[in-house]
Amino acid sequence: MHPAARANFKNRAVALKSLISAMPDSFLPKPERDDPNIPIVATLNEEDIVGEFEPSWTDAEGIISARTFKMEDHVVGLHGADHDELRRLAEDFQKALRPEDVVGTAFLEGAIFEWLKRSTRSESIAGFADFVIGKVESSVIEGEIWLPISFLRIQSPFSVGRVEFRLITKGFMDDYEANLNRACPAMLM
């Protein structure tokens, strides 16, 4: 990434950091509702939660519109127009990344927000661009993505466009099972 772009993104991230503030009451945890009509299928205890719990909110289209984290005893974060700025920063960062098409804006929003959180908490972390690029580099995988197609049977493999269609054979699944027994649970994402 060009040094000027790095500096520009850092300035925007620092400006965004200054917008992190205490969340309005509507974003604070609410007391649990004791509604017997809601079936409880599982209960997660503290030991089941890996890492820090970071609540986020979505809008009517399912897009994250607010993110929070705990700062000492307060819940702080970004919402509304401030969160929109986070999204714009992620979109612009995505356009500046080379190679292109390796990461989505949702992932970048998360990485940028993590930098904002750790920086706000005065943790020792890398510079903004290095931190986000590092997150991207460590997340990229190279390989084949197999998407099983329901109710489709083929006699032999063939290609259409950029896709190769192959049969998921018993041998393929046997191999998967053997790998799963060796490496579980790391394989299940």
Partner 1 sequence: MKGINEHIKRRRTKIQNTAAGVVLCAAEPKYAFQIALEQVEKSLSVMRFFSRFCIHPTSICFSAPIEKQHPDGHLYLIVREGRVVQESAGFSGGKLRSWNISNADQKDNWKSGLAILDYLLKKESRTDYEETLFGALDLYSNSALSKRIPDRLTYLLIALETLFLKDQSEDHLCQRHRCFF
Interacting residues with partner 1 between 112 and 141 (CB under 8 A): 136, 139-141
Cis before 99? omega within 30:
yes
Q: From CA 66, how far away is CA 23, in angstroms rounded?
A: 10
Which one of residues 44, 49, 81, 152 is an interface residue with partner 1 (CB under 8 A)? Answer: 152
Pick one of 3, 31, 39, 161: the residue that binds partner 1 (CB under 8 A).
161
Instruction: Decide: is 63 part of the binding site for partner 1 (CB under 8 A).
Output: no
17 close to 77: Cβ distance less than 8 angstroms = no
Total residues interacting with partner 1, rule: CB under 8 A: 46
Looking at the Cβ atoms of 3 and 143, the one nearer to partner 1 is 143
Please say which residue, 4 or 140, places its beta carbon nearer to partner 1: 140
Residue 118: its H or E element: helix 105-120
Distance CA 156, CA 144 (A): 18
- Verify binding: residue 36, partner 1, rule CB under 8 A: no
168 binds partner 1 (CB under 8 A): yes
For residue 140, CA distances in Å to 63, 69, 89, 136, 154 come to: 23, 26, 20, 6, 31
Choose which of 71, 75, 102, 125 interacts with partner 1 (CB under 8 A): 102
Q: For 121, which DSSP code?
A: T
Cβ at position 185, least distance to partner 1 in Å: 9
Min dist. Cβ of residue 122 to partner 1 (A)? 28
- Between the alpha carbon of residue 155 and those of residues 8, 146, 150, 167, 169, the distances in Å are 55, 18, 15, 8, 12
Closest approach of Cβ 131 to partner 1, in Å?
Answer: 16
Assess 104 for contact with partner 1 (CB under 8 A).
yes
